[in-house]
Amino acid sequence: MTQAPLKGIRILDLTNVLAGPFCCHQLAHMGADVIKVETPGTGDLARQLGADPVRNADLMGVSFLAQNPGKRSITLNLKSTSGKRILRELVQQADALVENFRPGVMTRLGLGYDKLSQENSRLVYCAISGFGQDGPLSKLPAYDQIVQGMSGVMSITGDTDTAPYRVGYPMADTIGGMTAAFAVAAALANKAQDRGTFIDVSMLEAVIATMGWVVSNHLIAGQAPTPNGNDNFTASPSGTFRTADGVMNIAANKQEQFEVLCEIIGNPALVQDPRFADRKDRLANRPALTAELEKAFATGPTLDWVEKLTAQGVPAGPVWSVPEALAHPQLADRGLLQTHRIGPEDLQLVGIGAKLDGMAPKVDSPPPALGAHTNDILTELGYDNAQISDLKKEGAI
């Protein structure tokens, strides 16, 4: 671990699938000792998810691999008396616990914050759910697609012909997890507070919080959000434009950028056209301006136009596929992709997209097999081999 600001911090990860595991993924890369508490026999559902059926059958699905490097895995039956006791013992030595059960589940198990805080008065307890721990929707299960639809995101994604449209990856889960990681880290940093913290993360609210401009335009300016496809609703020309061999993005949001753009395409007269004279006019006449620009862009390939535009200070870029983005030299030396030995193979997994003092945070172990560290963790708690054997016989681990 080259950068470990959370070294010495222990996190109990009682989460499944994505939002919670993504939260603890961030914390593990920052140096925390993350103990993943899983159900015996099956573990995190993500162990069975992903595009490789063989890995799914081995409970090491690609979806699980993506969010769980650097963690240790212990299996506990939280419905058993011994399983509950072991969790309480783990809590006594932990700094934080993260769970994403439906609200009320942990309380029914006798393991809610009110009980666990009696084991550790400084415990940071983070509960991630679809809609929060209270309110009329609180008991609904948290599914990314449902949250995307109810947050308003889908209503403004796509264009007038295709909206509502789902964002192409589980963004509600991911935003919920990132919000939780930030909240946990902030609570851990509050060392002056000699008591624990209960964190209630609503995926719905976390997603809406990222829609600041759209929400504020509605709340303050009375502008109803609309689906604008690839067009930036604040400026024109700013969006996706067809070229001779595909499409490219342009973000000429400033007047001087628009003027330079017109020079580059060989049509400086557009600057004097009253339809395009200023930002407001260009927004009102976006289709006509796009048609004029695409006439020019049709004469050359994307990469040539991108080179010409960026050389003169006009923001532009190609529209890459995921494989194209990952293969680009920009990512080669940044440390985003990290190699882990998993079984007989070296596999690449994604880090967290940040550097600390010039170094990308890394974890020093691959995603764990189900229960791989059960014996080690129980030994740390003081259990001997005979006791561990008894726990296995009774189905507690």
Q: Up-side HSE of residue 146: CA atoms within 13 Å toward CB? A: 9
- Asked whether 208 and 215 are in contact (CB, 8 A), the reply is yes
Q: What does the angle CA 130 – CA 175 – CA 247 come to, to the nearest 5 degrees?
A: 125
Whether a cis peptide bond, with omega within 30° of 0, leads into 237 is: yes
The answer to whether the CB of 44 falls within 8 A of the CB of 38 is: yes
Alpha-carbon torsion (132, 138, 144, 149), positive or negative: negative
Beta bridge partners of 38: 75
| Candidates 13, 44, 173, 200; catalytic one | 173
**Cα 153 from Cα 193, distance rounded (Å):** 37
Q: Within 13 Å, how many C-alpha atoms sit on residue 32's CB side?
A: 25
Cα 302 to Cα 87: distance, rounded to the nearest angstrom: 57
Active site residue 161: no
For residue 268, what are its two tokens?
């400086």
The Cα 290–Cα 296 span in angstroms is 10
CA geometry: angle at 17 spanning 64 and 367, to 5°? Answer: 25
Give catalytic residue positions.
173
